[in-house]
Amino acid sequence: MNHALTLTADNMQQQLLHQYQMVRSKSLEICSAIETEDYTVQPMADVSPPKWHLGHTTWFFEELLLVRFCPDYSRFNTQYSSLFNSYYKALGAHTLQADRGNLSRPTVNQVIEYRRYVDANLAKLINEHVLTDEMKSLIETGLHHEQQHQELLYMDIKFILASNVVDTQYAVQTLPPAPEPIHGWSGFTQGLYQIGHDAAGFAYDNEKPAHQHYLYPFAISHALVTNGEFLAFIEDGGYAKPEYWLSQGWDWVGQHRIQQPLYWSCLDGEWHEYTLHGLIPLGLNRPLVHISYFEANAFANWNKLRLPTEQELEVFLNQAPLATGFSDTALLHPNNTHNVYGEVWCWTSSQYSAYPRFKAFDGILNEYNGKFMCNQFVLRGGCVATPDQHYRHSYRNFYQPQQRWMFSGIRLAKDIV
């Protein structure tokens, strides 16, 4: 099933302009709930200031389209070409990620002006020229790239606000009570399954090509792991028992004194978690979120179960109807363990690597994915911060095993003997 941004042949350029304007305005909408001071801080190296996200996503369209295809285009500021470059070595120098929060300039207002300038010129390009296939592909990729950063904005804003001493609320609505989990398993027979993207519509290069993959009999849990289930792991001393942990995970727990998931705190004997709705009592039926691969793997071992492979999880996702847990629902916190996707990105046991016959994007986007296929694990299924139109079942997210500021959780698997 593919819910991605799609274009039809009729009036394609006007559709593209409309989608461009919709996606670009969404980024500003996400940031409209924060204060100017929140745009500029970087409380840890993995987090980028919201101001930088707004500039970088604009840099993509300026550098990869306007500079290359509009001979009369004049850059908004020549220094931005390195300032807002993330990691594209072929495009020149770039500011180190850990240094992004050290820069007070450009100001937030200057970055907003930069966005307006590029948006106006991109609209002019679409309205006044017949776009080549390469140009259309770059615009479409740029929109999906911006939607990736919209999810990152929610992640980073949450970490920024949680780092304050004063309890700060981003979302205005109240979270509804979480429904009771419904437990059960979906079983799958052994055999060859098609994995990867072969449908119409957009996909990243790391989702291709579609290929056959052999799986042994397995089962996937219907329900995501809940806060209450993980609390039982904590109360059983799970963080203090090395037999459940990978060696690197055990070292990580000890070095960083990890005792609970990110954003959990025990106040006056009662567990709470920080959310974009502020600090709230821990909802035992809500899906567990913000855990590392190390924690997910240890919890699976404690349960005498395992994490699914990414291929198993893709097969499971492909047989499920559309759920409603994406960012478009505006809950911005996982609340329903029944949703098959769109609540939390589920850790898999699969190392992030290339599919058979993988071919990186051509040309300027060659660096987009392939060079990160080292020391990371794949997550599947989307989350509450993922735009609905950005998601597809073949989508491969990936993070380092110690990272947990993303909306990550657990869906367990087991072998069928």
Angle at alpha carbon of residue 399, lines to 31 and 289, rounded to 5°: 65
| Domain 185-415 in the same topology as domain 9-163 | no
Q: Determine the average pLDDT of the residues in 56-71.
A: 97
Q: Which amino acid is at 336?
A: N
pLDDT for the residue 2 = 42
pTM of the model as a whole: 0.95
Q: What average pLDDT does this structure show over 152-175? A: 94
Rounded average pLDDT over 311-324 = 85
* Interval 257-303: pLDDT, tens: 999 999 999 999 999 999 999 999 999 999 999 999 999 999 999 99
9-163, what's its fold? Four Helix Bundle (Hemerythrin (Met), subunit A) (1.20.120)
Q: For residue 243, count other CB atoms closer than 10 A to its CB.
A: 8
Q: What pLDDT band is residue 12 in, cutting at 50, 70 and 90?
A: confident
Q: pLDDT-based confidence at 111, cuts 50/70/90?
A: very high
Task: Delimit the domains of the chain by residue range.
Answer: 9-163, 185-415
185-415: which CATH architecture?
A: Alpha-Beta Complex (3.90)
346-393 residue pLDDT tens: 999 999 999 999 999 998 898 888 899 999 999 999 999 999 999 999
pLDDT at 83: 94
Tokens representing residue 108 in the block: 């937030």
The confidence score (pLDDT) of residue 328 equals 64
